[in-house]
Amino acid sequence: MEKLAALSASLARVVVPAEEEVEVDEFPADGDMAAQEEGRRKELEAQEKHKKLFEGLKFFLNREVPREALAFIIRSFGGDVSWDKSLCIGATYDVTDSCITHQIVDRPGQQTPVIGRYYVQPQWVFDSVNARLLLPVADYFPGVQLPPHLSPFVSEKEGDYVPPEKLKLLALQRGEHPGDLNVSEEEEEGEEDTDGDEEGENEEEEEDDVEAGSEKEEEAQLTALEEQRMEEKKPRVMAGTVKLEDKQRLAQEEESEAKRLAIMMMKKREKYLYNKIMFGKRRKIREANKLAEKRKAHDEAIRSEKKAKKTRPV
């Protein structure tokens, strides 16, 4: 209890007298060294930014959420945190504090909403730390179905299956706005309704146009046959055409031919290892395709289930 209470309190600060910072001489580097130094510098900047992820944010924990874990994580990344003083010692502010930016809840409809405050489920804190950025809070509102967990220790390689949630996260990390990767339910319903109306209108128009269309087709066929007969009687001179070389296609052919020759020149053991590697790659691609098909079927089943619930009479 005392350790938990210590987490909510501000740390004592010792004022260090200002000292002149020594400027480090930077020497121009060439080639790979410059790229490595730039990569290290960006990684250090990202780590420093990650340490201050929740800096300036003020959290309040409801009684139903895991208090110890959330308090430890929020304080570790620069945020302020408190809870109801009747539950545990160490509360530094109450739920009525107007400076609270995020209230962590796990039961929808239990509190009166306060303007200017986000109500999110506990997973938002953990996922934001794993993603190294503040994720959109709309996916973590109380009562909303939470997105699947994405491990920060897994990095997909070429040929691996990448779920749509991971693609969205990668886009957010690049600073892009991916929007909704899947088509929204409202758009789907709107499209289906408009399709149904258009089909009803088009059926009548098609019935009227069938007769006129058949007559026009017969006339067009007759005129085409007459023109073809006239052209066959006329002597024709065919002009020569200049064939343009497709450089990209030629480069691909040369590359594939060089690869084929290299495989032919391999020793028996090298060829065996190469075939094993290629078999593993093909198997990985097949597994990724299977997972993608399963995910597509799962999403379609969820959409159809939601649609059935909406159309079901009360």
Cα within 13 Å of Cα(197), Cβ side: 5
pLDDT value for 161 = 80
Least confident of 111-115, 167-171, 209-213: 209-213
* Domain ranges within the chain, ordered by starting residue: 2-8+37-147, 182-228, 257-311
Mean pLDDT of 109-122: 88
pLDDT value for 87 = 83
Q: For residue 75, is pLDDT > 60?
A: yes
Share of the chain above pLDDT 90, in %: 21
pLDDT value for 25 = 56
Domain range 2-8+37-147, its CATH number among 3.40.50.150, 3.50.50.100, 3.40.50.10190, 2.60.40.10: 3.40.50.10190
pLDDT value for 183 = 43
Asked if 248 and 126 touch (Cβ cutoff 8 Å), the reply is no
Tens of pLDDT, residue by residue over 267-308, are 888 889 988 988 888 888 888 888 888 888 888 888 888 888
Q: For residue 204, is pLDDT > 60?
A: no
pLDDT band for position 203 (cuts 50, 70, 90)? low
Q: According to the 3-state scheme, what is the secondary structure of the chain?
A: CHHHHHHHCCCCCCCCCCCCCCCCCCCCCCCHHHHHHHHHHHHHHHHHHHHCCCCCCEEEECCCCCHHHHHHHHHHCCCEEEECCCCCCCCCCCCCCCCCCEEECCCCCCCCCCCCCEEECCHHHHHHHHHCCCCCHHHHCCCCCCCCCCCCCCCCCCCCCCCHHHHHHHHHHCCCCCCCCCCCHHHHHHHHHHHHHHHHHHHHHHHHHHHHHHHHHHHHHHHHHHHHHHHHHCCCCCCCCCCCCCHHHHHHHHHHHHHHHHHHCCCHHHHHHHHHHHHHHHHHHHHHHHHHHHHHHHHHHHHHHHHHHHHCCC
pLDDT band for position 71 (cuts 50, 70, 90)? very high
The model's pTM: 0.61
Mean pLDDT of 226-244: 61
pLDDT value for 186 = 47
Least confident of 27-31, 157-161, 172-176: 27-31
Q: For residue 168, is pLDDT > 50?
A: yes
